[in-house]
Amino acid sequence: MIGIVNYGAGNIFSLTSALERLNIQYGMINQESDFDLYEKIIIPGVGHAGAAMQKLTESGLVPAIKALKKPVLGICVGMQLITSYSEEGDSNLLDIIPVKTLRFKEEISHKVPHMGWNQIYPENDSPIFSKIAPGTYFYFVHSYFIEFNPKFTAATCNYGIKFSAGIQKDNFYAVQFHPEKSGEAGEQLLKNFANL
Amino acid sequence: MLSKRIIPCLDVKDGRTVKGVNFVDLRDAGDPVELAWQYSQQGADELVFLDIAATHEKRKTTLDMVKAVARQVNIPFTIGGGISELKDAEALLNAGADKISINSAAVRRPELINELANAFGVQFVVLAVDTKHLPQGDFVHLNGGRIPTEIQTQHWIKEAESRGAGEILLTSMDKDGTKSGFDNILLKEINDMVTIPVIASGGAGNEQDFIDVFQKSDVDAALAASVFHYGEILIPELKALLKQNNIAVRI
pLDDT tens, residue by residue, A33-63: 999 999 999 999 887 888 899 999 999 999 9
Q: Which of A6, A137, A140 to mutate to test the interface with B (most CBs of B within 10 A)?
A: A137
Do A113 and B166 lie within an 8 Å CB cutoff? yes
> Is the ipTM of this structure higher than 0.90?
yes
From B99, which residue of chain A is nearest by alpha-carbon distance?
Answer: A141
Is A54 strand, coil or helix? Answer: helix
The enclosing domain of B47 has a CATH number of: 3.20.20.70
Query: What residues in B contact A141, CB-CB < 8 Å?
Result: 76, 98, 123
Q: Provide the residue ranges of all domains of chain A, joining segments of one domain with +.
A: 2-194
Query: Which of the residues A114, A123, A157, A180 is marked catalytic?
Result: A180
Taking the CA of residue B2 and the nearest CA in chain A, the distance in Å comes to 4
The number of folded domains in chain B is: 1
DSSP-assigned beta bridge partners for residue B126: B101, B167
B122 and A CB contact within 8 Å: yes
Longest Cα pair distance anywhere in chain B, in angstroms?
Answer: 49
Domain with B38, as residue range(s), is 5-244
Query: How big is the CA angle at B132 (ends B248 and B242), to the nearest 5 degrees?
Result: 15
- How many Cβ atoms sit within 10 Å of the Cβ of residue B136? 8
Length, in residues, of chain A: 196
pLDDT tens, residue by residue, A15-29: 999 999 999 999 999
Which pLDDT does position B22 carry in this prediction? 55
Do B3 and A137 lie within an 8 Å CB cutoff? yes
- The answer to whether residue B71 is domain-embedded is yes
Q: What is the mean pLDDT of residues A102-112?
A: 84
- How many Cβ atoms sit within 10 Å of the Cβ of residue B147? 12
To which H or E segment does residue B40 belong? helix B32-42
- The answer to whether residue B250 is domain-embedded is no
- The answer to whether residue B249 is domain-embedded is no
CATH of A2-194, one of 3.40.50.720, 3.50.50.60, 3.30.200.20, 3.40.50.880: 3.40.50.880
From B198, which residue of chain A is nearest by alpha-carbon distance?
Answer: A111
How many residue contacts between A and B have a Cβ separation below 8 Å?
85
Judge whether residue B29 has pLDDT over 70.
Answer: no
Judge whether residue A94 has pLDDT over 60.
Answer: yes
Task: Show the DSSP H helices in B73-206 as ranges.
Answer: 86-94, 104-108, 111-120, 153-163, 184-193
From B122, which residue of chain A is nearest by alpha-carbon distance?
Answer: A113
At residue B209 the predicted structure's pLDDT band, cuts being 50, 70 and 90, is: very high
pLDDT tens, residue by residue, A157-177: 999 999 999 999 999 999 999
Task: Please name the residues in contact with B115: beta carbons below 8 A apart, sequence gap of 6 or more.
Answer: B86
Encode B57-82: b = buried (16+ Cβ within 10 Å), e = exposed: ebbebbbebbbbbbbebbbbbbbbbb
What does the CA dihedral B242, B248, B250, B251 come to, rounded to 10 degrees?
50
- The answer to whether residue B22 is domain-embedded is yes
Percent of chain B with pLDDT over 70: 94
Judge whether residue B24 has pLDDT over 70.
Answer: no
Which pLDDT does position B57 carry in this prediction? 65
